[in-house]
Structure 1
Amino acid sequence: MKRLVIMTVGKTHSGKTTFARALDKELDNSFVMDQDNQAAFLNTFYAKLQPKQGPNILKHSLSQLIVHYAIENTELHLIVCNSNRSQKSRLELLEGLFNKKQFVRILVHFDIPDNVLMERIIRSRRSTNIFRGAYTSFGIAPKATS
Protein backbone atom coordinates (compact mmCIF):
# COMPACT_ATOMS: atom_id res chain seq x y z
CA MET A 1 0.00 0.00 0.00
CA LYS A 2 1.24 3.48 -0.87
CA ARG A 3 1.93 5.94 1.88
CA LEU A 4 0.59 9.48 1.86
CA VAL A 5 2.65 12.63 1.78
CA ILE A 6 0.58 15.73 2.36
CA MET A 7 2.46 18.98 1.81
CA THR A 8 0.94 22.21 3.06
CA VAL A 9 2.01 25.41 1.37
CA GLY A 10 1.25 29.00 2.27
CA LYS A 11 2.47 32.17 3.90
CA THR A 12 3.03 32.53 7.62
CA HIS A 13 -0.16 32.38 9.70
CA SER A 14 -2.17 30.87 6.84
CA GLY A 15 -3.07 27.73 8.83
CA LYS A 16 -0.51 25.18 7.61
CA THR A 17 0.57 23.92 11.03
CA THR A 18 -2.92 24.07 12.54
CA PHE A 19 -4.24 21.99 9.64
CA ALA A 20 -1.30 19.55 9.84
CA ARG A 21 -1.77 18.96 13.57
CA ALA A 22 -5.51 18.42 13.17
CA LEU A 23 -4.92 16.02 10.28
CA ASP A 24 -2.29 14.13 12.29
CA LYS A 25 -4.89 13.48 15.01
CA GLU A 26 -7.31 12.03 12.45
CA LEU A 27 -4.89 10.13 10.20
CA ASP A 28 -3.58 6.95 11.79
CA ASN A 29 0.10 6.15 11.41
CA SER A 30 1.25 9.65 10.50
CA PHE A 31 3.56 12.36 11.74
CA VAL A 32 3.98 16.08 11.13
CA MET A 33 7.25 17.34 9.72
CA ASP A 34 7.31 21.01 10.71
CA GLN A 35 10.46 22.98 9.95
CA ASP A 36 9.56 25.45 12.69
CA ASN A 37 10.58 22.72 15.17
CA GLN A 38 14.03 22.48 13.62
CA ALA A 39 14.36 26.27 13.55
CA ALA A 40 13.47 26.55 17.25
CA PHE A 41 15.89 23.74 18.14
CA LEU A 42 18.75 25.27 16.19
CA ASN A 43 18.11 28.76 17.56
CA THR A 44 18.00 27.40 21.11
CA PHE A 45 21.05 25.16 21.02
CA TYR A 46 23.09 26.11 17.95
CA ALA A 47 22.46 29.81 17.35
CA LYS A 48 26.14 30.47 16.60
CA LEU A 49 25.95 28.07 13.64
CA GLN A 50 23.01 29.85 12.05
CA PRO A 51 23.76 31.89 8.92
CA LYS A 52 23.26 35.62 9.30
CA GLN A 53 21.42 35.79 5.97
CA GLY A 54 20.52 33.70 2.97
CA PRO A 55 19.23 30.13 2.92
CA ASN A 56 19.24 28.27 6.20
CA ILE A 57 21.14 25.24 4.94
CA LEU A 58 21.51 23.77 8.42
CA LYS A 59 17.74 23.84 9.05
CA HIS A 60 16.98 22.41 5.62
CA SER A 61 19.59 19.66 6.05
CA LEU A 62 18.18 18.66 9.44
CA SER A 63 14.66 18.60 8.01
CA GLN A 64 15.81 16.50 5.07
CA LEU A 65 17.54 14.05 7.42
CA ILE A 66 14.31 13.61 9.41
CA VAL A 67 12.26 13.07 6.24
CA HIS A 68 14.78 10.55 4.87
CA TYR A 69 14.74 8.70 8.18
CA ALA A 70 10.93 8.56 8.19
CA ILE A 71 10.84 7.30 4.60
CA GLU A 72 13.50 4.64 5.08
CA ASN A 73 12.76 3.46 8.64
CA THR A 74 9.02 3.82 9.17
CA GLU A 75 5.75 3.18 7.43
CA LEU A 76 4.32 6.51 8.56
CA HIS A 77 2.37 8.89 6.36
CA LEU A 78 4.12 12.26 6.20
CA ILE A 79 2.44 15.60 6.72
CA VAL A 80 4.97 18.21 5.66
CA CYS A 81 4.08 21.71 6.77
CA ASN A 82 5.80 25.06 6.72
CA SER A 83 6.63 24.57 3.07
CA ASN A 84 6.40 28.08 1.72
CA ARG A 85 8.26 27.22 -1.48
CA SER A 86 8.10 28.25 -5.10
CA GLN A 87 6.20 25.97 -7.44
CA LYS A 88 9.49 24.80 -8.99
CA SER A 89 10.99 24.02 -5.56
CA ARG A 90 7.85 22.14 -4.49
CA LEU A 91 7.98 19.98 -7.59
CA GLU A 92 11.69 19.28 -7.05
CA LEU A 93 10.99 18.29 -3.44
CA LEU A 94 8.10 16.02 -4.38
CA GLU A 95 10.00 14.38 -7.24
CA GLY A 96 13.26 14.11 -5.30
CA LEU A 97 11.96 12.73 -2.00
CA PHE A 98 8.52 11.30 -2.61
CA ASN A 99 8.37 9.18 -5.74
CA LYS A 100 4.98 8.27 -7.20
CA LYS A 101 5.59 4.52 -6.83
CA GLN A 102 5.90 4.84 -3.05
CA PHE A 103 3.63 7.79 -2.19
CA VAL A 104 0.29 9.32 -2.97
CA ARG A 105 1.23 13.00 -3.05
CA ILE A 106 -1.23 15.65 -1.98
CA LEU A 107 -0.58 19.40 -2.02
CA VAL A 108 -2.75 21.66 0.14
CA HIS A 109 -2.32 25.33 -0.75
CA PHE A 110 -3.42 27.94 1.79
CA ASP A 111 -4.12 31.03 -0.30
CA ILE A 112 -5.33 33.44 2.37
CA PRO A 113 -5.76 37.17 1.51
CA ASP A 114 -2.95 39.36 2.85
CA ASN A 115 -5.30 41.52 4.93
CA VAL A 116 -6.51 38.39 6.78
CA LEU A 117 -2.92 37.25 7.31
CA MET A 118 -1.92 40.66 8.68
CA GLU A 119 -4.79 40.55 11.18
CA ARG A 120 -3.68 37.07 12.29
CA ILE A 121 -0.09 38.28 12.64
CA ILE A 122 -1.15 41.27 14.74
CA ARG A 123 -3.09 38.97 17.11
CA SER A 124 -0.45 36.23 17.10
CA ARG A 125 0.77 34.65 20.31
CA ARG A 126 3.07 32.20 18.51
CA SER A 127 6.63 31.94 19.71
CA THR A 128 9.17 33.85 17.65
CA ASN A 129 12.03 31.48 18.53
CA ILE A 130 11.91 30.18 14.96
CA PHE A 131 13.50 33.39 13.69
CA ARG A 132 17.20 33.98 13.24
CA GLY A 133 19.02 37.27 13.22
CA ALA A 134 17.30 40.55 13.98
CA TYR A 135 13.74 39.33 13.41
CA THR A 136 11.67 39.62 16.57
CA SER A 137 8.10 39.35 15.34
CA PHE A 138 5.94 38.01 12.53
CA GLY A 139 5.30 41.58 11.42
CA ILE A 140 7.41 43.86 9.31
CA ALA A 141 11.02 42.84 8.69
CA PRO A 142 13.70 44.76 10.59
CA LYS A 143 15.34 47.72 8.93
CA ALA A 144 18.92 47.29 7.77
CA THR A 145 21.49 49.11 9.87
CA SER A 146 24.45 50.90 8.35
Structure 2
Amino acid sequence: MNRIVVLTVGKTHSGKTTFAGKLESRLKNAVVIDQDNHAAFINTCYQSLRPKEGPNTLKYAVTQTIVDYAVQQTDCHLILCNSNLAQEGRKNLLDYFRLKGFISVLVYFDIPDEVLQSRIAESQRSKAIFRSASSFDEVLARQQLNRTPAPEEGEADYLFKVSRSEDDIPTVIENILKLSEK
Protein backbone atom coordinates (compact mmCIF):
# COMPACT_ATOMS: atom_id res chain seq x y z
CA MET A 1 0.00 0.00 0.00
CA ASN A 2 1.19 3.47 -0.87
CA ARG A 3 0.88 5.79 2.08
CA ILE A 4 -0.24 9.34 1.49
CA VAL A 5 0.56 12.48 3.41
CA VAL A 6 -1.71 15.45 2.87
CA LEU A 7 -0.52 18.89 3.97
CA THR A 8 -3.14 21.60 4.14
CA VAL A 9 -1.88 25.07 3.29
CA GLY A 10 -3.80 28.25 4.00
CA LYS A 11 -4.56 31.14 6.29
CA THR A 12 -6.66 30.96 9.41
CA HIS A 13 -10.34 30.11 8.85
CA SER A 14 -9.74 29.00 5.26
CA GLY A 15 -11.32 25.57 5.86
CA LYS A 16 -8.28 23.38 6.52
CA THR A 17 -9.67 21.67 9.64
CA THR A 18 -13.11 21.12 8.13
CA PHE A 19 -11.52 19.66 5.00
CA ALA A 20 -9.20 17.42 7.05
CA GLY A 21 -12.13 16.01 9.00
CA LYS A 22 -14.09 15.29 5.82
CA LEU A 23 -11.09 13.64 4.20
CA GLU A 24 -10.35 11.57 7.31
CA SER A 25 -13.93 10.27 7.36
CA ARG A 26 -13.62 9.08 3.73
CA LEU A 27 -9.99 7.95 3.47
CA LYS A 28 -9.59 4.53 5.01
CA ASN A 29 -6.89 4.22 7.65
CA ALA A 30 -6.19 7.95 7.87
CA VAL A 31 -5.44 10.18 10.83
CA VAL A 32 -5.52 13.96 11.18
CA ILE A 33 -2.58 15.53 12.99
CA ASP A 34 -3.62 19.05 13.94
CA GLN A 35 -1.21 21.49 15.60
CA ASP A 36 -4.11 23.50 17.00
CA ASN A 37 -4.94 20.48 19.18
CA HIS A 38 -1.33 20.35 20.35
CA ALA A 39 -1.31 24.07 21.15
CA ALA A 40 -4.54 23.77 23.16
CA PHE A 41 -3.11 20.77 25.06
CA ILE A 42 0.09 22.64 25.91
CA ASN A 43 -1.80 25.81 26.87
CA THR A 44 -4.09 23.78 29.13
CA CYS A 45 -1.63 21.35 30.72
CA TYR A 46 1.88 22.79 30.30
CA GLN A 47 1.47 26.54 30.09
CA SER A 48 4.56 27.16 32.22
CA LEU A 49 6.71 25.26 29.71
CA ARG A 50 5.68 27.31 26.67
CA PRO A 51 8.41 29.43 25.16
CA LYS A 52 7.86 33.05 26.15
CA GLU A 53 9.11 34.43 22.82
CA GLY A 54 9.95 33.17 19.36
CA PRO A 55 8.66 30.02 17.75
CA ASN A 56 6.60 27.62 19.82
CA THR A 57 9.26 24.93 19.82
CA LEU A 58 7.35 22.85 22.37
CA LYS A 59 4.32 22.66 20.06
CA TYR A 60 6.55 21.70 17.14
CA ALA A 61 8.26 19.00 19.25
CA VAL A 62 4.90 17.51 20.26
CA THR A 63 3.77 17.51 16.65
CA GLN A 64 7.02 15.96 15.42
CA THR A 65 6.80 13.22 18.06
CA ILE A 66 3.26 12.36 16.96
CA VAL A 67 4.26 12.44 13.28
CA ASP A 68 7.29 10.21 13.93
CA TYR A 69 5.14 7.74 15.84
CA ALA A 70 2.49 7.67 13.11
CA VAL A 71 5.14 7.16 10.41
CA GLN A 72 7.16 4.50 12.23
CA GLN A 73 4.53 2.62 14.25
CA THR A 74 1.43 2.69 12.03
CA ASP A 75 0.47 2.23 8.40
CA CYS A 76 -1.88 5.23 8.43
CA HIS A 77 -2.26 7.86 5.79
CA LEU A 78 -1.51 11.22 7.42
CA ILE A 79 -3.38 14.51 7.11
CA LEU A 80 -1.35 17.39 8.57
CA CYS A 81 -3.83 20.07 9.37
CA ASN A 82 -1.93 23.26 10.08
CA SER A 83 -1.22 26.34 8.02
CA ASN A 84 2.07 25.17 6.43
CA LEU A 85 2.43 28.66 4.99
CA ALA A 86 6.22 28.88 5.21
CA GLN A 87 7.70 27.46 2.03
CA GLU A 88 10.92 26.28 3.72
CA GLY A 89 8.94 24.47 6.42
CA ARG A 90 6.80 22.76 3.76
CA LYS A 91 9.90 21.72 1.87
CA ASN A 92 11.44 20.17 4.99
CA LEU A 93 8.22 18.28 5.79
CA LEU A 94 7.83 17.05 2.24
CA ASP A 95 11.48 15.92 2.09
CA TYR A 96 10.98 13.97 5.34
CA PHE A 97 7.94 12.18 3.93
CA ARG A 98 9.59 11.49 0.56
CA LEU A 99 12.42 9.73 2.39
CA LYS A 100 9.79 7.61 4.16
CA GLY A 101 8.16 6.63 0.84
CA PHE A 102 4.94 8.65 1.13
CA ILE A 103 3.00 10.08 -1.78
CA SER A 104 2.80 13.80 -0.96
CA VAL A 105 -0.22 16.00 -1.54
CA LEU A 106 -0.58 19.72 -0.92
CA VAL A 107 -4.08 21.14 -0.64
CA TYR A 108 -3.89 24.91 -0.97
CA PHE A 109 -6.78 26.96 0.39
CA ASP A 110 -6.67 30.18 -1.61
CA ILE A 111 -9.60 31.96 0.02
CA PRO A 112 -9.97 35.75 -0.40
CA ASP A 113 -9.17 37.76 2.73
CA GLU A 114 -12.63 39.33 2.84
CA VAL A 115 -14.16 35.83 3.07
CA LEU A 116 -11.72 34.93 5.85
CA GLN A 117 -12.57 38.14 7.75
CA SER A 118 -16.26 37.30 7.49
CA ARG A 119 -15.65 33.77 8.76
CA ILE A 120 -13.59 35.10 11.67
CA ALA A 121 -16.36 37.53 12.61
CA GLU A 122 -18.83 34.62 12.84
CA SER A 123 -16.39 32.11 14.35
CA GLN A 124 -17.06 30.25 17.58
CA ARG A 125 -13.60 28.62 17.58
CA SER A 126 -11.80 28.41 20.87
CA LYS A 127 -8.92 30.79 21.47
CA ALA A 128 -7.22 28.16 23.68
CA ILE A 129 -4.64 27.68 20.94
CA PHE A 130 -3.18 31.18 21.29
CA ARG A 131 0.18 31.91 22.81
CA SER A 132 1.27 35.13 21.15
CA ALA A 133 -1.93 36.37 19.53
CA SER A 134 -5.08 37.62 21.18
CA SER A 135 -7.55 37.04 18.34
CA PHE A 136 -7.99 35.35 14.98
CA ASP A 137 -8.08 38.85 13.44
CA GLU A 138 -4.53 39.32 14.71
CA VAL A 139 -3.48 35.93 13.31
CA LEU A 140 -4.90 36.82 9.90
CA ALA A 141 -3.21 40.24 9.96
CA ARG A 142 0.15 38.57 10.65
CA GLN A 143 -0.42 36.08 7.84
CA GLN A 144 -1.32 38.92 5.47
CA LEU A 145 1.91 40.74 6.34
CA ASN A 146 4.10 37.68 5.78
CA ARG A 147 2.98 37.31 2.16
CA THR A 148 4.51 33.88 1.77
CA PRO A 149 4.47 32.46 -1.74
CA ALA A 150 1.67 30.08 -2.68
CA PRO A 151 2.55 26.42 -3.18
CA GLU A 152 3.77 25.62 -6.67
CA GLU A 153 3.57 22.60 -8.93
CA GLY A 154 6.46 20.28 -8.14
CA GLU A 155 6.65 21.04 -4.41
CA ALA A 156 4.71 17.87 -3.75
CA ASP A 157 3.72 14.91 -5.87
CA TYR A 158 0.24 16.46 -6.21
CA LEU A 159 -1.12 19.96 -5.69
CA PHE A 160 -4.83 20.75 -5.39
CA LYS A 161 -6.37 24.17 -4.93
CA VAL A 162 -9.51 25.12 -3.04
CA SER A 163 -10.79 28.56 -3.93
CA ARG A 164 -13.83 30.52 -2.84
CA SER A 165 -16.12 27.73 -4.01
CA GLU A 166 -16.93 24.99 -1.49
CA ASP A 167 -17.58 22.84 -4.57
CA ASP A 168 -13.81 22.30 -4.88
CA ILE A 169 -13.67 20.20 -1.69
CA PRO A 170 -15.59 17.08 -2.86
CA THR A 171 -13.53 17.00 -6.07
CA VAL A 172 -10.23 17.29 -4.18
CA ILE A 173 -11.31 14.55 -1.75
CA GLU A 174 -12.28 12.25 -4.63
CA ASN A 175 -8.90 12.86 -6.30
CA ILE A 176 -7.06 11.97 -3.08
CA LEU A 177 -9.18 8.84 -2.64
CA LYS A 178 -8.18 7.75 -6.16
CA LEU A 179 -4.50 8.25 -5.24
CA SER A 180 -4.94 5.94 -2.26
CA GLU A 181 -6.16 3.17 -4.56
CA LYS A 182 -3.04 3.17 -6.74
What's the TM-score once normalised by structure 1's chain length?
Answer: 0.90
Give the structure 1 partner of residue 9 of structure 2. 9
Give the structure 2 partner of residue 58 of structure 1. 58
Structure 1: how far apart are the matches of 2:2 and 2:99?
Answer: 9
SS in 2 for 1:33: strand
Structure 2: how far apart are the matches of 1:89 and 1:27?
Answer: 25
Look up the equivalent residue of 1:72 and give its one-letter code: Q
SS in 2 for 1:139: helix
Is 1:99–2:93 an aligned residue pair? no
Look up the equivalent residue of 2:37 and give its one-letter code: N
Structure 2: how far apart are the matches of 1:140 and 1:101?
Answer: 36
Structure 2: how far apart are the matches of 1:93 and 1:5?
Answer: 10
Deviation (angstroms), 1:137: 2.1
Identical counterparts, % of pairs: 55
Structure 1: how far apart are the matches of 2:65 and 2:49?
Answer: 17
Is 1:40–2:43 an aligned residue pair? no
What's the TM-score once normalised by structure 2's chain length?
Answer: 0.73
1:140 to 138, 141, 157: 138
Structure 2: how far apart are the matches of 1:71 and 1:2?
Answer: 13
Look up the equivalent residue of 1:44 and give its one-letter code: T
Look up the equivalent residue of 2:105 and give its one-letter code: I
Give the structure 1 partner of residue 113 of structure 2. 114
Look up the equivalent residue of 1:106 and give its one-letter code: V
Counterpart contact for 1:39–1:59, Cα < 8 Å: yes
Pairing 1:119-134 to 2, within 5 Å after superposition:
119-133=118-132
Structure 2: how far apart are the matches of 1:19 and 1:54?
Answer: 29
Deviation (angstroms), 1:52: 2.1
Deviation (angstroms), 1:101: 6.0
| Runs of 5+ consecutive residues of structure 1 not aligned to the other structure | 142-146
Counterpart contact for 2:12–2:83, Cα < 8 Å: no
Look up the equivalent residue of 1:110 and give its one-letter code: F
> Hey, which bits of structure 1, 4+ residues long, moved more than 6 A?
none
Structure 2: how far apart are the matches of 1:42 and 1:29?
Answer: 27
Look up the equivalent residue of 1:120 and give its one-letter code: R
Counterpart contact for 1:2–1:101, Cα < 8 Å: no
SS in 1 for 2:4: strand
- Quick check: which one's helix share is greater? 2
Structure 2: how far apart are the matches of 1:139 and 1:26?
Answer: 32
Counterpart contact for 2:11–2:85, Cα < 8 Å: no
